[in-house]
Amino acid sequence: MKPRFVLASASPARLKTLRGAGVEPEVIVSGVDEDHITAETPGELARLLASLKARAVVAGLDEHATVLGCDSVLEFDGVAYGKPGTPEVARERLRSLRGRSGVLHTGHCLIDTNAKQELRELASTTVHFADLTDEEIDAYVATGEPLEVAGSFTVDGLGGPFVSVIEGDYHNVVGLSLPLLRRMLIEVGIPWPALWTTTRRLEYDESEAARYDETHGGLARARAAALAVHSLLPGSAASSSPPTAGGGRVLELAVGTGIVGAELVALGNLVHGVDLSSAMLRHARIRLPGHVAAADAGRLPIAGRRCDAVVAIWLLHLLDDSEPVIAEAARVLRPGGVFITTTEKSEAGRYADGRGPNESRSQDALAHLVAQAARHGLTLDGATTFPGPLRANDQTPLYPLIRLRRTD
């Protein structure tokens, strides 16, 4: 049985680091007030804060879990630097750091309630900063990025070019040491691969991919799907979302042969697609040249808040667990962006075939999707339908399509 693994941190960078390593944690923010906690050394402060966060989350659990708390502190000239909070403080710190070095300490506290163990460790990495100009510092502070990160810099974001050299674990500077976490997990009896999360992978051989469109409704169904998606995109006549310049910037998950994506392009949208099937992608690259890539929909190689819309047509019903995909869609959407997905596909087909409802929960069931989406800041605010191919019994299924909008 897969362990329940909880990240006691609101840090997007830590979540991204774990996701990049194949781990999809449950995120529970501790609510610990960091401002009034002190310790004898910066390293001890980082370790203490990590412990307080983990313990606070464990105290609120109603079932067993493995909880990771983390906190980072930059030590510079023997002083601990946390989040600056204001542009003035961030600017002053960056001017002090330029051309010099500091030590980034990240405290890790792992509590396993099954094993009744609490482990506390510290990882430290030396960071050498570039000799920044005042203009570079002002521009960086104006982005807002340095205000909410330890030491007023990031290595995985806009601040990356301002870090000259790192001595030690790169991931530790981002906010979480993966090698250290692996060792801690082993101590409580959890092998690292036990935490890996994978979405169901559907691979097609070349012959299957070549006839996929023909056997799944062809161009007529693709056009119907694209028109329905387009009606729910930001800026469309039927959409309540703010318009976007030059059509919607759409990321299509499980793009397949690219047949729907190409129709969306014809409607004036900029479409990028990802898929895991190499055979499907060979066809998609013809329809969407330069705009498709091999990627897992549950672990997208895309920075947060970059997309106007994420689209998933006939994907979620195939998965054993749709939440990782929904979580990724929410992560890459800009505020006000929309996740558009088919829903109740299995039920539409069952009714068209004269069968009864599926008693087991489907991963694209509407109530299930809406509940999952709400956990990731997505709210249902639009819906439509489009027709599928005519069935042998002269029934034409209508496929529901919903729009979930990112509200933050």
Active site residues: 71
**What is the residue whose two structure tokens read 């002190």?**
38
**What are the CA-CA distances from residue 139 to residues 84, 97, 131 (Å)?**
16, 16, 15
Helix (H) or strand (E) holding 178: helix 178-187
Distance, in Å, from the CA atom of 329 to the CA atom of 378, rounded to the nearest integer, reads 9
Structural tokens at position 248: 């919607």
**What is the residue whose two structure tokens read 């601990």?**
80
Question: Are residues 397 and 391 in contact, defined by beta-carbon separation less than 8 angstroms?
Answer: yes
DSSP H helices, 22-129, are: 42-59, 87-97
Question: Are residues 245 and 234 in contact, defined by beta-carbon separation less than 8 angstroms?
Answer: no
Residue among 107, 95, 44, 40 nearest 71 (CA): 107
Neighbours of 395 (CB within 10 A): 14
Residue among 301, 14, 104 nearest 5 (CA): 14
Helix 206-215 / helix 218-232 crossing angle, nearest 10 deg: 70
Q: Return all residues near 247 (Cβ < 8 A) that are at least 6 apart.
A: 233, 235, 267, 268, 269, 270
**What is the residue whose two structure tokens read 């401002």?**
35
Structural tokens at position 288: 């969407």
Q: Is 157 helix (H, G, I), strand (E, B) or coil?
A: coil
Helix (H) or strand (E) holding 111: strand 101-112
Tell me the β-bridge partners of 70.
108
Q: Letter for the amino acid at 303?
A: A
Residue among 330, 322, 406 nearest 366 (CA): 322
Q: In terms of C-beta density within 10 A (0-12 exposed, 13-18 middle, 19 or more buried), how is residue 398 classed?
A: middle
